[in-house]
Structures are given as structure tokens and as C-alpha cells.
Amino acid sequence: MAAPLDSLPEALRFHSPAALVDIGANLTHESFAADMEAVLDRARAANVTTFIVTGTDLDHARQAVALADAHPGLYATAGVHPHDASQWSSSLATEMAALYQHDKVVAVGECGLDFNRNYATPTEQERAFEAQLTLAAEHGLPLFLHERDASKRMREILASWRDSLSDAVIHCFTADKTALYAYLDLDLHIGLTGWICDERRGHHLRELVSSIALDRLMIETDCPYLLPRNLPAKLKGRRHEPALLPWINAEIARWYGIDADELGRATTATAQRFFRLPAAS
């Protein structure tokens, strides 16, 4: 567990010219429990003003809703991650449906398919995923989707559901060009993280980012995970946090070939529309 930090090293105190939305912040993670206010203050100082807190199972979704109720600018998703898909049951579906009535719950998810780790079997994952697609269709909510090493099956399932769904974002997109083009053909949104900063496994994204229209692209930290590997200073504890989102925004903008301000304004407008957020004050 990372030690609470009072401040970031000088070189990591970024400031985005445009107000940013972090569409994937795992702020229910235990590493944030001790210093949540400071984390949010540092983010706001960096001009990261809106946070979609990821709910990955019933407990975490409830915690995400509680955080959203307690802090301005925070919203929650509610779903069951593919790693936890074996928990799915009809009573869980009922509890989730109750959360979708809450006005700070802005998406169904994180849900989807992960055939990389297979913590739940593919059959369990597909069952939980399709049940959550049903809930998203019934409640008219957008979807926050996770996919790892499962893009072919994900595409097949989404193709058959697409007409019943409003919007869906593939969060932390890391796959290849074929998958990206197929997702864009399904009129999905794409979430990009600091994965693009990872010289071991993420540089293939550099050539792909400009294929994503600005009204389909959103940005996220996926904190506390996925600390960008090319930060200009070491971060004690190595816990990723929303204050670092401007670094990711600037990196994506560089490979997109536009300036960071323009990318920031566009991804914020896209996120506000996608999650139906009130206009920024």
C-alpha cells in the first residue's frame, strides 16, 4: 500500500489548460482511503475536475456511489468486472438495478470480457456480461467496458446487441488496429490511458490514436494502476492518481498531432455528452 503523499514532486505538478475528465478512476481502491481529499485537491490543482469512479463489483459500486455523493465532480459506474463474473446472480442483478436509479450512477460497468487472466471462466464471463448488457438496455445507460485478449468475442456479442444499447466505451483500449477499427465501426467510444507511454507494450497505440475521431475519444488514468512509465520524475509509492492525467493527455495529443488544449477540450466535451454530465461550471 502506497504511503499517503502530501504533495507531488515539482516535476509532476502538471496543469492542463483545459478542464479534464478522468473517465476511469478506481478511487475506491484502499490506497486512496487515507488521503482522498488531498488526491482530489491535487487533481483539481492540475485542472482535472471531473472523475468517473469505477465500480467493479457490488461493494465497490456502492463505495463509488458513496464517494460520488460526498464529493462534487465525482460520478460512479456500477457493474461486475469480468474477473468477478462468477459472482453473477439474479439477486445481484436486482441490487445493481437499484443502483441504476441513483442520479450519480452514469454507466453500467465495469463489465466485459478478459480472456487474458480468466479468473472467471469464459462461460461465466459471457453470462455476466450479457446480463449487464440487458440492464444497460433496460435502463438506457451507457456502458463502461473492459476487454483484454477477447476482442473477437466482444465484437460478436456487441454487434448483436448494438441496436439496443445507447453508447459504450472500450475503457483502457490496448488492442490492435483490427480491433480498433471494428469497435469504431460499431460506433463505440474509446478510452485511452497511460498505456501509450509504455515502451514495452503500448507504443503500437501511437500510430492508432489519430484514427479515433475526437467525438469518440476519452482519457483516463485507471489509477492507482498503470502509472505512466515515462513520467519526468520518480513517484514515491508508485501509486497513479488523477493529478497525472494532464501528462497522459499531452502524450496522446502529441501522437494525435494536435495541441494538448485542443485534445483536452474535445475529450471533456465527449465525456460530458457520453456520461450525460451537467455542463462544467
Q: Which residues bind Zn ion (CB under 5 A)?
A: 146
- To Zn ion, the closest distance from the beta carbon of 218 in angstroms equals 14
DSSP state of 67: H
Residues 198 and 167: beta-carbon distance below 8 Å: no
DSSP 87-144: G--HHHHHHHHHHTTSTTEEEEEEEEEETTT-SS-HHHHHHHHHHHHHHHHHHT--EE
> Between residues 14 and 88, which has the closer beta carbon with respect to Zn ion?
88
- To Zn ion, the closest distance from the beta carbon of 240 in angstroms equals 13
Residues 17 and 45: beta-carbon distance below 8 Å: no
> Between residues 14 and 51, which has the closer beta carbon with respect to Zn ion?
51
Q: How many CA atoms does the CB half-sphere of 47 hold within 13 Å?
A: 15
- Three-state SS for 148? strand
- To Zn ion, the closest distance from the beta carbon of 146 in angstroms equals 4
Number of neighbours of residue 187 by Cβ within 10 angstroms: 11
> Between residues 73 and 112, which has the closer beta carbon with respect to Zn ion?
112
Determine the Cα–Cα distance for residues 12 and 78; give it in Å rounded to an integer. 31
- To Zn ion, the closest distance from the beta carbon of 23 in angstroms equals 11
Instruction: Give the helix/strand (H/E) hosting 191.
Output: strand 189-192
Look up residue 114 and give its three cell numbers.
Answer: 478478459
- To Zn ion, the closest distance from the beta carbon of 223 in angstroms equals 12
> Between residues 153 and 254, which has the closer beta carbon with respect to Zn ion?
153
> Between residues 16 and 191, which has the closer beta carbon with respect to Zn ion?
191
- To Zn ion, the closest distance from the beta carbon of 236 in angstroms equals 25
